[in-house]
Amino acid sequence: MKLATRLLIVKKQIAYAERFSRSIRQECLDWFAIFSEKQLRNILKSYMEYYNKYRPYQGIHSISEDRPPVASGKIMKMPIRFGLYHHYYRAS
């Protein structure tokens, strides 16, 4: 691989990492007063679960492969991280 190609790949990876760290700070850490490493780990763990499972997915028609859409049913609300976020879904 040529050096220029490698540098472009690294630059793109840095941009993804910077955007992810900004998301964690703005969407999660700015909302809590953190007093211990254990508390920080718990907050980050729950945020990662939200980030990977429940936040809007940017796939085809905003549907992830592991979450097939449910066409009917009552819309339910699930609070995440003390109600900071909410996940809405249809009860099957």
The pLDDT tens digits of the residues spanning 18-27 come to: 988 998 898 8
Domain spans of the chain, in order of start: 3-90
Q: Give the pLDDT mean for 47-63.
A: 71
Asked if residue 66 has pLDDT above 80, the reply is no
φ and ψ at 86, to 5 degrees?
-135, 145
- Give the span between the Cα atoms of 70 and 35, in whole angstroms: 41
Kind plus residue range of the DSSP H or E element containing 85: strand 85-90
Euclidean distance between CA atoms 75 and 47, whole angstroms: 23
Given a cut of 70, is residue 70 above it in pLDDT? no
